[in-house]
Amino acid sequence: MTDVTMDKIVSLSRRRGFVFPSSEIYGGMGSTYDYGHYGVLTKNNIRSLWFQAMVQERDDIVALDSAIILNPRVWEASGHVGGFTDPLVDCRTCKLRFRADQIDQASCGRRPSKHPGETPDCDLTEARQFNLMFKTQVGALEDESSTAYLRPETAQGIFVNFKNVLQLARRKPPFGIAQVGKSFRNEITPGNFLFRVREFEQMEMEFFVPPADAERWYRYWVDERFNWYLKYGLRESMLRKREHSAEERSHYSSGTTDIEYLYPIGWSELEGVANRGDFDLTQHTQHSGTKLEFVGDDTERYTPYVIEPAVSIERIFVAMLVDAYDEEVVAERERTVLRLHPAIAPVKAAILPLIPRNADMVEKARGLHDELRRQHMVEYDDGGQIGRRYRRQDEIGTPFAFTIDDQTLEDDTVTVRERDSLAQERLPIGGVRGWLEEALERPWRTPKA
Ligand code: GAP
């Protein structure tokens, strides 16, 4: 079995243009990343499959795109100004800062490295609370009155639009509002590639339900989200549900289950599903003076409870790469292959003229490429030996490759090569489009153990 380390994932992401360290020519910007072509395509697929499952295929969820900078009172009401904090200690000697609750996993800045506080030179301050929200100023004045925040979650933008959606989209509980967008957190200990970053793209859905039904819907969403990961190819043995203990839960939650993935750093949170009760709508009702409740026919009137599945594209992206990464020896040569679900794979098929100098092969290949690209993200590649081109496509996870060769010029058939099995068969060139359509619809299971 391939030993998948975070280093291998980082190296492949870089080598094949999925992800680059940000601002690299200026020495980088700690734990901040830029996405290259294949990274963008993969993220687009993750985002649109999430949206398809959460909005497109349902009658009870609508979409929203709220602002990143909201009225700062939103964050007072939500509890983020007062309580979205980590306890920190500073070392006066090495000038480093550590999370007080993770000090036994941190390394001291001096050599040989020990845990902070373990050397006689360490001089640690008392722990103090550090707010994770990024502050900014809005407008020309730079005083307290112009302070605003970059949103640390997309959820609050949904709660403050509850009344708009209820009235204008004519919804009644149970119904949900889904949103995808950037969130920002000044994480003290970011790291492990994209797993914990300061700028990430959240996909959150707030599902408003009658209080008596909250527990049932909470369990429903845990299962629904768990099954979504199985549908897109993550191995069941690498996933688990972990229910939080009462001490671990956030102040607003009466039940939280993490869907965890076995990342190279160990079992860690991929997605959280929380029963937030009526905390958010009640807080915003009290702070804004606008009643956020459901008023039905007759005398029905209540504050809905909220069930929230929340995840970032980054955590899914890393889990998908880890799950897909494989190494094997084929005909005495090593190959690295990303066994991504075809729906997640950035490129669905490669079109390769066997001999790039042969004008007839190039013309046929270009023609096929033009035909397929109208429906799918496909790639024409005539750079280098065919073996190297196959290996490149394997490393970016392209499930199928169509090769135009001598025989194509005689009988208009092409070879299709499957990424996972390496099986090859010949197809009439006119049937490729239909074949690909059907192949992308087929159920897919990873061949990885
Ligand atoms: N609205 C609830 C909320 O934001 P959270 O557990 O703080 O809850 C939800 O975050 C999800 O967002 C996490 O399960 C994780 O997938 C993702 N996430 C949180 N912090 C992150 C970070 N620093 N980098 C990448 N993803 C992050």
| Highest mean pLDDT, choosing among 88-102, 188-202, 244-258, 368-382 | 368-382
Q: How far is the centre of ligand 1, averaged over its atoms, from the C-alpha of 309 (Å)? A: 10
Average pLDDT over residues 238-242: 98
Nearest residue to 159 (alpha-carbon basis) of 333, 304, 336: 304
Q: What is the pLDDT of residue 328?
A: 95
- Which helix H or strand E contains 400, and what residues bound it? strand 400-404
CA–CA separation, 106 and 115 (whole Å): 6
Task: Give tens-digit pLDDT for 208-229.
Answer: 999 999 999 999 999 999 999 9
Flag whether pLDDT at 112 surpasses 80: no
| pLDDT at 348 (0 to 100) | 98
Model confidence over 258-273: pLDDT tens digits? 999 999 999 999 999 9
According to DSSP, the β-strands at 33-35 and 19-21 are antiparallel
For residue 437, the model assigns a pLDDT of 98
Does residue 109 surpass a pLDDT of 80?
no
Question: Is 386's pLDDT higher than 80?
Answer: yes
298 falls in which pLDDT band (50, 70, 90)?
confident
Q: What is the pLDDT of residues 164-193, one digit of tens each?
A: 999 887 789 999 999 999 999 999 888 899
Q: How many CB atoms lie within 10 A of CB 292?
A: 22
- Please give the helix or strand (H or E) that residue 87 lies within, else none: strand 85-90
3-state secondary structure of 405: coil
The tokens for 242 are 């972990």
pLDDT at 347: 98
Residue 82 sits at the vertex; the CA angle it makes with 247 and 258, to the nearest 5 degrees, is 35
Whose structure tokens read 């033009």?
Answer: 370
Place of tokens 């408003």: 208
- Measured from the Cβ of residue 276, the count of other Cβ atoms closer than 10 Å reads 23
311 CA: nearest ligand 1 atom: 16
Q: Which residue's alpha carbon is at the smallest distance from atom 18 of ligand 1?
A: 312
**Which residue type occupies 94?**
C
For ligand 1, the distance from its centroid to the CA atom of residue 313, given in whole angstroms, is: 10
Best mutation site among 133, 192, 204, 315 for ligand 1 pocket (most ligand atoms within 8 Å of CB) = 315
pLDDT at 77: 97
User: Residue 196: CB within 6 Å of ligand 1?
Assistant: yes
* Residues 6 or more apart whose Cβ sits within 8 Å of residue 211: 277, 278, 302, 303, 304, 305
| Protein residue closest via CA to atom 16 of ligand 1 | 311
CA 149 to CA 381: how far, in whole Å?
A: 46
342 preceded by a cis bond (ω within 30 of 0): no
Residue 153 Cα: closest atom of ligand 1: 4
Ligand 1 test: best mutation among 249, 256, 312, most atoms within 8 Å of CB? 312
Confidence of residue 252 (pLDDT cuts 50, 70, 90): confident
Q: Are strands 128-131 and 85-90 parallel, antiparallel or unpaired?
A: antiparallel
d(CA 120, CA 12): 42
**Residue ranges with strand state E in 91-248:** 97-99, 128-131, 135-137, 147-149, 175-184, 199-209, 239-243
Q: Is 311 in the pocket of ligand 1 (CB under 6 A)?
A: yes
Does the Cβ of 269 fall within 6 Å of ligand 1?
yes
Q: Which ligand 1 atom minimizes the distance to the CA of 196? A: 24
- CA of residue 249 to ligand 1 center, whole Å: 14
- Could you give the CA distance from residue 266 to residue 197 in angstroms, rounded to a whole number? 18
Q: What are 326-362's pLDDT values in tens digits? A: 999 998 999 999 999 999 999 999 999 999 999 999 9
Mean pLDDT of the chain: 95
Q: Which atom of ligand 1 is nearest to the CA of 274?
A: 2
* Residue 34 and residue 149 in contact, taking contact as beta carbons nearer than 8 Å: no
The pLDDT of residue 426 is 98
Tell me the C-alpha distance between 268 and 319, whole Å: 10
Average pLDDT over residues 355-379: 98
Query: Cβ(323) to ligand 1 under 6 A?
Result: no
Q: Residue 102's CB: how many other CB atoms inside 10 A?
A: 13
Query: What contacts 85, CB < 8 A, 6 or more positions away?
Result: 129, 130, 131, 132
In terms of Cβ atoms closer than 10 Å to its own Cβ (0-12, 13-18, 19+), residue 443 is exposed
Please give the number of the atom of ligand 1 that sits closest to the Cα of 185. 23
**Which residue has its alpha carbon closest to ligand 1 atom 11?**
311
Distance 181 CA to ligand 1 centre (A): 12
pLDDT at 423: 97
Helix ranges (H only) for 247-358 are 279-288, 313-324
Q: Is 185 in the pocket of ligand 1 (CB under 6 A)?
A: yes
pTM of the model: 0.95
Pocket flag, ligand 1, residue 258 (CB < 6 Å): no
Q: Contact at 8 Å (CB) between 444 and 341?
A: yes
DSSP at 304: P
Specify the pLDDT at position 105.
Answer: 82
Token pair 């997605």: residue = 271
Average the pLDDT over 119-144 and give the result.
89
The answer to whether residue 111 scores a pLDDT higher than 80 is no
DSSP secondary structure letter of residue 152: S
Here the tokens at position 63 are 């979409």
Mean pLDDT of 196-204: 97
Measured CA to CA, the distance from residue 161 to residue 163 in angstroms comes to 6
- CB-ligand 1 contact for 346 (6 Å cutoff): no
Residue 121 confidence (pLDDT): 84
d(CA 419, CA 400): 6
- Residue 350 and residue 379 in contact, taking contact as beta carbons nearer than 8 Å: yes
Assess whether the C-beta atom of 86 lies below 6 angstroms from ligand 1: no
How much is the pLDDT for 431? Answer: 98
Percent of the chain at pLDDT above 70?
100
Please work out whether the CB of residue 158 comes within 6 Å of at least one atom of ligand 1.
no
| DSSP three-state, residue 293 | coil
pLDDT digits (tens, 9 = 90+) for 34-44: 999 999 999 99
Residues 6 or more apart whose Cβ sits within 8 Å of residue 167: none
